Structure 1
Amino acid sequence: MSTQATVRKGRKFDQVIDGARDIFLRDGFEGASVDEIAREAGVSKATLYSYFPDKRLLFIEVASAQCGRQADEAVLSIDTSRSPREVLSQAGHKFLGFLYSEMGQRIFKICLSESERFPDLGQQFYQSGPMIMRRVMVDYLSAARARNELQVDDIDLAADQFAELCKADLWPKLLFGIQSTVTEAEITRVVDGAVDTFMARYGV
């Protein structure tokens, strides 16, 4: 099933998205009712259903928009003229800040739970945010290598390795319910470790 084929744009589309975002953040995916979303958006249920015949489609549209905004903000806030250690630290904090946010966790869980019935949900989410961040990291690592600030042969692999290093420790604990929240201090500890490990391997 393709979200692109079933989501219709219209005059009140953005209004519906804004209202749905507030309700999903407040009540989660399962707890969010179509009645509440329509009321918050200031539209009729008929109007909402004309845009989104399935609540999952509405959620992934909200999630993708939110993820895209986060990615755009991260890209604009990262000063790629700085040293690798500084840029990697900035990128790591931005990446984990969204990944461990309430919306980030809900996006991941719904994409995982609906992956068989709606395989394109995860693909759309990935393209709207993670892929943008990965492209920025690949471009930065290439530029840093050209400036002789890093020694990297496989740029794509290095970008993926850094992302995985940033998920160490905290991600599996959240995934398996060992802990439900993450503090800034915990994020800093993991990002600092990821940067140290990455620079030990690729630093000049």
Structure 2
Amino acid sequence: MQAAAEVFFEQGYAATKIDAIIDRVGGSKRTIYNEFGNKEGLFLALVVENVDKVLSAFPIGEIGTRELRETLTAFGQHLMAVYMSHTLLGIYRIAITEANRFPELVKSFYEQGPGRATSQLAGILEDARNREEIRADDCERAAGHFVGMIRGNLHLQVVLGLRPPPSGEEMQQEVVFAVEAFLRGVLPSSDK
């Protein structure tokens, strides 16, 4: 997977050939095709692997026992770390550059990546709403806003190469600010 990511990032999705990946790691086309189906399957496996890193940090059974602020902070920190990882930055760059030529690939990227993370967070918010910890008419939309706050302009600046990825401390500060701003928007009036 790492070799595939490097080739995709160096050559772009369209220019990447399975043979170039095999040249890096050895093996055969048959093995790659058996494992991933095709180049698109290999690219999506990279996406899923990175999203799984974020989502696996939140075993469903433990979520209900955490305070919402703690859950959002942990979710945001994991999400920020993945968004700023070399691999996901490369995946985002590919998705942006290939959107017009490969719309189905980009749609799958969104569904398996950002869309999946947003849906899991929406479930967390729905549970909090059911416990009357928050007020939110549309938890899916609220989750999308939270994810957008985490990604924000900082992520865009890094994707565009305008700045290097932030330090761990800077990422933590961004997440704390996003959690506080988000909670001010969804907490019941008496809790603000």
TM-score (norm 1): 0.75
Contact 1:89 1:191 in 2 (8 A): yes
Correspondence for 2:107:
123
Kept after mapping to 2: 8 A contact 1:98/1:104: yes
Given that 1:138 and 1:159 are in contact with CA atoms closer than 8 Å, whether structure 2 keeps it comes out as: yes
Gaps of 5+ in 1: 1-20
Q: Note if 1:189 corresponds to 2:189.
A: no
Which structure 2 segments of 5+ residues have no match?
A: none
Selected match of 1:111 from 77, 82, 95: 95
Contact in 2 for aligned 1:78/1:91 (Cα 8 Å): no
- Give the conservation status (yes or no) of the 8 Å contact 2:47–2:88: no
Deviation at 1:186, TM superposition (A): 1.2
Select the residue among 135, 142, 157 that pairs with 1:173.
157
Q: Which residue of 1 aligns with 2:134?
A: 150
Alpha-carbon RMSD = 2.8
Partner of 1:75: 58
Residue 125 of structure 2 aligns with an amino acid whose one-letter code is: L
% identity of equivalent residues? 24
2:72 is the alignment partner of 1:92: no
SS at 2:101 equivalent: coil
Structure 1's consecutive aligned runs of 4 or more residues displaced over 3 angstroms after TM superposition are 24-28, 31-36, 39-42, 46-55
- Per the TM alignment, residue 107 of structure 1 is displaced from its structure 2 partner at its CA by 0.6
Conserved 8 A contact 2:122-2:143:
yes
Shift of 1:68: 4.2
C-alpha spacing 1:116/1:80, structure 2 compared with 1 (3 Å):
same
- Alpha-carbon distance between aligned partners in 1 of 2:107 and 2:134, rounded to the nearest angstrom: 31
Q: TM-score, normalised by structure 2?
A: 0.80
Tell me how far 1:141 sits from its aligned partner: 0.8
* Structure 2 residue matching 1:149: 3-state secondary structure: coil
Aligned residue identity for 1:30: E
How many equivalent pairs are there? 182
Q: 1:38 to 1:29 in 2, by over 3 A?
A: same
Alpha-carbon offset, residue 34 of structure 1: 4.6
Structure 2 match to 1:12: none
